[in-house]
């Protein structure tokens, strides 16, 4: 029974993430001024969309790799995954918030949301992976596939970015964007 | 043939529920006043969204567990499930209604909708489970997995809340929210 | 290869139909007048939504039953199914059109759209079913499962409703609504 | 593990494409003027929607056929497929842009987007197909199924259309529409 539930959870998660990644397209604005399209605004929006896209696509990949390790998951993981999807679904709104007004509070809110998502995801990964692999060397291999060799690409980074964002919001904005794109692209090289 | 139909019904239900749970994100408002984001309004909306999220995620879980019990379902269940999805799809609208204006009629309408969803779901559960288990002790175990040990977490509660909502709408609002969150979280402990 | 393609077509069709049936919820209006919700408008919209829901859910059921008969489908059916989805996706818009202004042209447009969808669906059904069953008695059984015993529940009806709609649009509106609900409910009894 | 990841990528891609193709329906306008629906505007929008529909449905078909060839895909293809979905998701917005204001820049932007999507898709196809077939004659057969016998239905065409669009945007608009519809319909004949 838990095996079937896990399969449905996979389909459900994929569907939710697919919707999250696509609804953002609906918000791309086509504004006309004096009979000409405002390209600057359109391309800025596409830029913001691409950052959210990388962030969510990256988590989809890590999520798929992690959950493929398990044949079945305990109930606590099912609930945790649904909570994970809840916070993930706030990413488009918070990205829009941060880019429409790059104030220190908004950048800190976004970093905080990334931290929460990152922590929930690590809790799920640990439970699933530790259940299957006990050998230390195996654990390192599988963690490398999910997160990459980069130590900094972890939740700790977001913890540091929150106070830094209070003083230099624009620096943190650039760092967050770079991090999303780099995490996503990295998986292609492995 | 009924087996394949049941599988497609599962995919279809999951897709509809995934869309329902995600479209609510589109309605999170980012309003600017005097150059600052109106946080109070945003966080109130996120709170309302989280309540609908818990209610629907809870039903997704119960739905998945129940339907995993069956290899195939009779036609009446297929139609009943589609009617169930119809009423479930009204939840985001009615949650918004109740929270934007907590009047006695709106709270009663929401309680009534919860009652209808609850009754349809119980009819489906009974048909599916009774088809498979005949032993009384087995039935109790499976009901416990789906609904939990809590007797009050049942349709009867909503029946009581409707008249109570006429006199104390705000009390019922808080009760309904607490019930949604508690039902959802409970599954993680089993 | 065609077998895998058919499976993906099933998932794709289910996803498109699930989205079509759910996006309509987004359009349910909550309008406030003098501090009170305009219930009449809301419930009228829910009524219209339920009609579209029945129409699309009915076709989903017939679609699922028909496509379950085939192990694989020829390319022509794949393309025909995509065209079927195109016209089906216009149903929410045309339902809204017909109910917001019940003029003779709008009712005729809606009947015409139903006729097109009905014809495309019958073409697909015939190709798939005739490929598998050759015995006349088998054919009648399978047609009965898909369409029900009702002869009138066929494309011919819409052909008659188009000219009638020119003279009595409101009569045809009621007939179309009754037909959608009755077709959908009927499957539960078989 | 890569096999399971590939299956999830298929479901995820299908879901994203299904959403892309359906959200466009939400934008069909029903405007009233002097109590009558503005049919011209509605039917023009349906026309534009049908072009985007053909373009995306065509790519869905080619995508499904290509990915059915592979049992598993390397990581680079997973990332490439996600980037493909990103650019594909811009098609509805750019179609709307091009048809709402058929200026030379907008037509060139649309042609450029088609070129990028076409190139990414060809890179994926080559990697997947070359991995499986080594015989030249086999390669030609499979390429024929995906792209059809038409040599012009390739990325090179878009490369030519970009400079042509600078001088004759309306000619290129008509060519792009004809190409989308013809590519899509062609698959039915094979």
Interface predicted TM-score of the whole assembly (ipTM), two decimals: 0.86
Closest alpha carbon to B110 in B97, B100, B101: B97
Query: Domain range for residue A129?
Result: 2-189
CA separation (Å) from D169 to D44, D134, D163? 18, 42, 10
Cβ pair C82:D50 closer than 8 A: no
Give residue B110's Cα distance to chain centre. Answer: 11
Whether residue A25 lies within 8 A of chain B, CB to CB, comes out as no
For residue B163, the distance in angstroms to the closest alpha carbon of chain A comes to 33
D18–C12 C-beta distance less than 8 A = yes
Number of domains in chain A: 1
Paired residues of C26 in beta bridges:
none
- As a whole number of angstroms, the distance between CA B179 and CA B175 comes to 6
Please check whether residue D100 touches A, CB under 8 A.
yes
pLDDT of amino acid B82: 92
D86 touching chain A per CB within 8 A: yes
Return d(Cα A85, Cα B54) in angstroms, integer.
Answer: 11
Query: Could you tell me if C25 lies within 8 Å of chain D, comparing CB atoms?
Result: no
Which secondary structure element, helix H or strand E, spans residue D33, and what is its range?
strand D32-33
Q: Does D9 touch chain A (CB under 8 A)?
A: yes
- Cα–Cα distance, D141 to D129 (Å, whole number): 11
- Interchain proximity B8–C30, CB inside 8 Å: no
B15 touches C15 (CB < 8 A): yes
Instruction: Determine contact: A61 vs chain D, CB below 8 A.
Output: yes
Residue B95 is predicted with a pLDDT of 82
The more confidently predicted of residues A105 and D100 is A105
**Which of D46, D68, D185 has its CB closest to that of C5?**
D68
- Token pair of B1 as six digits: 């043939």
For residues C65 and C142, what is the distance between their CA atoms, to the nearest angstrom? Answer: 9
| pLDDT < 70 stretches in chain C | 1, 35, 147-154, 188-190
Chain C touched by D40 (CB under 8 Å) = no
Asked whether residue B186 is assigned to any structural domain, the reply reads no
pLDDT value for D175: 84
Nearest to D22 among C1, C19, C103 (CB): C19
pLDDT at site C86 = 93
Q: Nearest CB to C86: which of D36, D42, D50? A: D50
- The Cβ of residue B124 has, within 10 Å, a number of other Cβ atoms equal to 21
Among residues A182, A59, A190, A174, the alpha carbon closest in space to that of A125 is found at: A59
Residues in chain C closer than 8 A to D72 (CB atoms):
none
Tell me the pairing of strands C36-37 and D32-33. Answer: unpaired
A155-A80-B127 Cα angle (round to 5):
165
Cβ neighbours of B99 in C, within 8 Å: none
pLDDT in tens, A113-167: 988 998 898 888 888 887 777 777 777 777 777 766 555 556 778 888 888 888 8
Q: Where are the alpha helices (DSSP H) in chain A?
A: 2-23, 39-68, 75-88, 91-100, 104-132, 136-147, 155-167, 169-186
Domain assignment present for C9: yes
Residues of D in contact with A6 (CB under 8 A): none
- SS3 for C69? coil
Any chain C CB within 8 A of the CB of B82?
A: yes
Flag whether B58 is in a domain. Answer: yes
Identity of the residue in A14, A22, A36 whose CB atom sits nearest the CB atom of D89: A22
pLDDT of residue C88: 92
Average pLDDT over residues D125-136: 77
pLDDT computed for residue D18 by the predictor: 92
Alpha helices in D69-134 (DSSP H): 75-88, 91-100, 104-132
The pLDDT of residue D86 is 93
pLDDT score at B87: 93
pLDDT for the residue numbered C84: 93
Whether A159 and chain D come into contact, CB under 8 Å, resolves to no
Whether residue D1 lies within 8 A of chain A, CB to CB, comes out as yes
> What average pLDDT is seen over chain A?
82
Supply C81's token pair: 């199914």
Per-residue pLDDT tens for B79-135?
899 999 999 999 888 888 877 777 888 888 888 898 899 889 888 888 888 777 777
A28 at the B interface (CB within 8 A)?
no
Secondary structure (DSSP) of D131-162: HH--SHHHHHHHHHHHH-S-SSSSHHHHHHHH
What chain A residue is nearest to D109 in terms of C-alpha separation? A39
Q: Which of B16-20, D96-100, D107-111 has the lowest mean pLDDT?
A: D96-100
C-beta separation of B84 from B114 below 8 A: no
Q: Using pLDDT thresholds of 50, 70 and 90, give the confidence band for residue A16.
A: very high
Q: Is residue C190 part of a domain?
A: no
Quote the CA–CA distance of B9 and B2 in Å, as a whole number: 10
Task: Indicate which of D86, D87, D91, D112 best probes the interface with A, i.e. most A CBs within 10 Å of its own CB.
Answer: D86
Query: Quick one: tokens of A137?
Result: 């060397």
D108 has pLDDT over 80: yes
Cβ contacts from B onto C, under 8 A: 84
Q: Which residue has the higher pLDDT, B154 or C24?
A: C24
* Minimum-distance CB partner of D106 among A10, A37, A187: A37
A173-177, A179-183, B29-33, D182-186 — which is least confidently predicted? Answer: B29-33
Sorted by sequence, the CB contacts under 8 Å of residue D25 that are 6+ apart come out as C20, C23, C89, C90, C92, C93, D49
Put simply, the answer to whether D16 touches A18 (Cβ < 8 Å) is: yes
- Check: CB of residue A120 under 8 Å from CB of residue A87: yes
Q: What are the φ/ψ torsions at residue A113 (nearest 5 degrees)?
A: -65, -45
Q: List pLDDT tens digits, range B36-94.
A: 777 888 888 888 888 888 889 988 998 988 888 888 888 888 889 999 999 999 988 88
Confidence category of residue D13, pLDDT binned at 50, 70, 90: very high
Measured between CB atoms, does D32 come within 8 Å of chain C? yes
Calculate how close chain B gets to C64, using CA atoms only, in Å.
7
Q: Give the minimum alpha-carbon distance from B7 to chain C in angstroms, rounded to a whole number.
A: 10
Q: pLDDT band at A28, cuts 50/70/90?
A: confident
DSSP B68-130: HT-SS--HHHHHHHHHHHHHHTTHHHHHHHHHHS--HHHHHHHHHHHHHHHHHHHHHHHHHHH
For position A133, what pLDDT does the model report? Answer: 73
Within a domain: B142: yes
Residue in B with minimal Cα distance to A94: B30
Instruction: Give the nearest chain C residue to D146 (CA atoms).
Output: C75
Q: What is the pLDDT of residue B6?
A: 87
- Looking at residue B127, its pLDDT comes to 84
According to the model, what pLDDT value does residue D49 have?
Answer: 84
Does D19 touch chain C if contact means CB atoms closer than 8 Å?
Answer: yes
| Three-state secondary-structure class, residue D36 | strand
User: What's the gap in Å between the CA of D136 and the closest CA on chain C?
Assistant: 20
Dihedral sign, CA of C91, C97, C102, C105?
negative
Q: In this complex, is the C-beta atom of D28 within 8 Å of any C-beta atom belonging to chain C?
A: yes
From C149's Cα to the closest Cα of chain D, the distance in A is: 32
Interchain contact A31–B (C-beta under 8 A): no
| pLDDT at residue C83 in the model | 92
User: Would you give the DSSP letter of residue A33?
Assistant: E
Residue % of chain D over a pLDDT of 90: 12
The reply to whether B128 falls in a domain is: yes
Record: contact A22-D26, CB cut-off 8 A: no
Q: Report if residue B190 sits inside a domain.
A: no
For chains A and D, CB pairs below 8 A equal 84
**Mean pLDDT (whole number) for A71-90:** 89
How many other C-beta atoms are found inside a 10 Å radius of the C-beta of residue B99? 19
**Which residues have CB under 8 Å from A138's CB, separation 6+?**
none
**Residue A57 and residue B188: Cα distance in Å, rounded?**
27
B72 part of contact set with chain A, CB < 8 Å: no
Lowest mean pLDDT among A173-187, B4-18, B87-101, C141-155: C141-155
pLDDT classification of B3: cutoffs 50, 70, 90: confident
CB-CB contact of C86 with D53 (8 Å): yes
The alpha carbon torsion through A73, A74, A80, A85 (nearest 10 deg) reads 30
Region A67-77: mean pLDDT is 84
In a domain, B38, yes or no: yes
From the CA of D150, how many Å to the nearest CA of chain A?
A: 32
Check whether D72 has a pLDDT greater than 70: yes
């Amino acid at each position: 029974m838990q095996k079937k539930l896990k399969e449905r959870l996979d389909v459900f998660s994929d569907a939710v993430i697919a919707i999250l990644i696509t609804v953002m397209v609906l918000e791309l604005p086509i504004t006309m001024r004096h009979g000409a399209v405002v390209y600057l605004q359109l391309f800025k929006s596409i830029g913001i969309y691409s950052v959210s896209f990388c962030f969510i696509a990256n988590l989809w990949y890590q999520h798929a790799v992690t959950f493929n390790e398990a044949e079945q998951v305990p109930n606590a993981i099912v609930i945790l995954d649904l909570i994970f999807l809840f916070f993930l679904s706030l990413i488009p709104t918070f990205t829009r918030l941060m880019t429409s007004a790059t104030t220190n509070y908004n950048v800190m809110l976004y970093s905080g949301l990334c931290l929460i998502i990152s922590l929930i995801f690590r809790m799920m990964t640990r439970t699933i992976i530790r259940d299957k692999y006990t050998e230390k060397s195996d654990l390192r291999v599988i963690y490398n596939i999910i997160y990459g060799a980069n130590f900094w690409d972890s939740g700790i980074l977001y913890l540091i970015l929150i106070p830094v964002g209070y003083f230099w919001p624009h620096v943190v904005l650039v760092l967050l964007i770079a991090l999303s794109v780099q995490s996503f692209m990295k998986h292609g090289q492995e």
